[in-house]
Structure formats: C-alpha cells, structure tokens
C-alpha cells in the first residue's frame, strides 16, 4: 500500500469503526427482537434525540457550564497547590497523606453533604466536578516541578540564582507538559463529577434529565441523553488535546519525559 493511501485509510478508520458499531447494534436489536425498554436500537435513540432536542440541548448546555466551572476551579487550585507541593518538600511531606486520603473518598459519597450545605442547585455539580478533578492536576504539576534535573539546577545555582529564579525559569516551563497532560484526565473527571452532582442535587442538567427519564422509564430518552453526554465529552477532550499540542509542542518533538 502506498503511503498516501495508508494515511487516508487511517483517517477513515475511526469513521468506519464507529458506523460499524452502530450498524451492528441496530442489526442485533432487530434480529433478536430486543425490546426498546431494555436496549433501544440506534434508530430509536436518534428519533428520541430529535424529539427531545430542545430539552437535551438546554440541559447539555447547563452540564457544560457546570463542568467548565468545576474544571476551572480545579485548574486554578490544582496549579497553586501543585506548585506549593513541588516547590517545598515540607508542604509536600505534610499534605501527602491528607491528599491521598481525600482522593480515596468516592466523591458520590460527598454529594449528600453538599446537598445539606447548599441545597439543590448549581453548587453541588460544580463542587463535585471540582473535587473529583483537581487531584491529577496537583500531582502532575508537583511532579514536573520536583523532577528538575539536578544538573540544570546546579548550572543556575552556581550563578547565584535564587530558588524563585529556578522555579520561574526551569520549574514552571518544564511542568507545563505535565500540567496540560493532566487536563485531559481532569476534564473527563470533572464531567463525571458534574453529572453525578446534577443527578443527585439539581433541577437542570443532563444528569437531572436522566434521573427524571429513569423515573418515567423513558429508556429511549435515557439513551439519547447518554449519546449527548458522549458527544459533549469527546468534544471537550478533543479541545484539551488541541490546547496541549499548541502549548507544549516542544515536549512532544523533543521526546520530553512527561506523561
């Protein structure tokens, strides 16, 4: 196969497999006469998507906002805490058990507390998204700062560079690939968090829509909402990947040892 043709078939492959997947699903549902209440075929889901398009659009938009708000908080907080952890061994050693303990708590279990504190509204989804997604950012930023090559540090220290100089000139730029790498994980987690929050403690959002659809046994709507979630998730993930490429292209081209 010529190189051109191989490149083109590689570009086509994702479409081929995605369409194939839904085709198989459709054929399976029809062949085995599976009830729409158990597993609706893609055609039924598509129909539901169209039928509920305004609802789904409205709630998706809300979910997007909740996710981005939680994610934004996580980025700000994660950067600050990650830098503190990476710059100071003392802070690192001190907060390590706390952080690990916090991360170990399933965030769904925190939602009831948020409901008690804030009631039903935007707070629970945003805070759940934040709590679930800041951890990878903290860890990655701290790692990038803490793993400066000792020789690069020596070169600067022998010139009389202060700790701050070293962090600004070496630490922060070199932790950027770690940071942007962690955003991919964080955005996905924030999304999970906001949907969980909406499911349990909100009157709007895709999570809430699904909670109501589930109570009504509206299975096609449930699946339509799932598809909407998947599309939205893929779009957000793709955007962070593009941002990562833009910001830290040097890391990929130089085989820099970041995640």
Partner 1 sequence: MPAFVDIHDVTHVYAGAEDGAPAVQDLNIKVMEGEFAAVVGPSGCGKSTLMKLATGLQFPAKGTVIVDGREVGAPVKIAGMAFQNPTMLPWRTTLQNLLLPLEVVQPHRSRLRSNRAEYVAKAEALLEQVGLKGQGSKYPWQLSGGMQQRASLCRALIHEPKLLMLDEPFGALDAFTREELWCVIRDLHAAQRFTVVLVTHDLREAVFLADRIFCMSSRPGRIIAEREVDLPRPRDLEVTYTQPFMDIVHELRAHIAHARVAA
Give the footprint of partner 1 on this chain (CB under 8 A).
Answer: 149, 151-152, 154-161, 165, 169-170, 173-174, 176, 248, 250-251, 253-256
Give whichever of 131 and 183 is closer to partner 1, judged by the CB atom: 183
Is the Cβ of residue 7 or residue 154 nearer to partner 1 in the bound state?
A: 154
> Residue 95 CB, nearest distance to partner 1 (Å)?
23
Q: CA–CA separation, 217 vs 134, rounded Å?
A: 35
In sequence order, the 6+-apart residues with CB closer than 8 A to the CB of 61 are none
Report the alpha-carbon distance of residue 14 to residue 62 in Å, rounded. Answer: 29
- Which one, 36 or 92, has the nearer CB to partner 1? 92
Contact criterion met (CB below 8 Å) for 177 and 256: yes
* Consecutive H or E run containing 154: helix 150-157
Kindly state the smallest distance separating residue 176's Cβ from partner 1, in Å.
Answer: 8
| C-beta separation of 110 from 128 below 8 A | yes
Residue 70: which of 170, 191, 180 has the closest Cα?
Answer: 191
Nearest to 43 by CA among 62, 22, 57: 22
User: Cα-flanking dihedrals φ and ψ of residue 70, to 5°?
Assistant: -65, -40
C-beta closer to partner 1: residue 21 or 250: 250
Q: How far is the CB of 90 from partner 1 (least distance, A)?
A: 16
Toward partner 1, which CB reaches closer, 85 or 251? 251
Looking at the Cβ atoms of 97 and 150, the one nearer to partner 1 is: 150
Q: What is the dihedral of CA 71, 73, 75, 78, to 10 degrees?
A: -120
Nearest approach, Cβ of 254 to partner 1 (angstroms)? 4
Find the shortest distance in angstroms from Cβ 143 to partner 1.
17
Least distance to partner 1 from the beta carbon of 175, Å? 11
Q: Which residue has the tokens 């934040």?
A: 130
Report the distance separating Cα 151 and Cα 160, nearest Å: 14
């Amino acid at each position: 196969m010529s190189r051109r043709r191989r490149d083109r078939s590689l570009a086509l492959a994702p479409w081929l497999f995605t369409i194939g997947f839904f085709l198989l699903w459709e054929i399976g549902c029809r062949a085995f006469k599976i009830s729409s209440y158990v597993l609706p075929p893609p055609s039924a889901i598509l129909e539901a998507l169209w039928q509920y398009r305004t609802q789904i659009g409205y709630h998706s938009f809300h979910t997007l906002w909740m996710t981005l708000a939680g994610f934004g908080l996580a980025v700000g907080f994660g950067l600050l805490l990650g830098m503190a952890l990476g710059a100071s061994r003392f802070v690192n050693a001190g907060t390590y058990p706390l952080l690990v303990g916090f991360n170990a708590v399933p965030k769904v279990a925190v939602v009831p507390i948020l409901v008690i504190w804030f009631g039903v509204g935007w707070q629970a989804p945003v805070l759940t998204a934040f709590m679930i997604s800041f951890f990878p950012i903290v860890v990655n930023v701290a790692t990038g700062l803490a793993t400066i090559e000792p020789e690069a540090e020596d070169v600067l220290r022998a010139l009389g560079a202060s700790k701050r100089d070293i962090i600004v000139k070496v630490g922060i730029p070199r932790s950027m690939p770690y940071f942007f790498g962690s955003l991919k994980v964080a955005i996905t987690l924030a999304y999970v968090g906001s949907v969980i929050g909406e499911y349990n403690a909100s009157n709007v959002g895709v999570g809430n829509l699904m909670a109501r659809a589930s109570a009504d046994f509206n299975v096609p709507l449930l699946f339509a909402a799932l598809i909407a979630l998947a599309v939205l998730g893929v779009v957000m993930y793709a955007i962070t990947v593009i941002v990562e490429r833009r910001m830290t292209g040097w890391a990929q081209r130089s085989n820099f040892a970041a995640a």
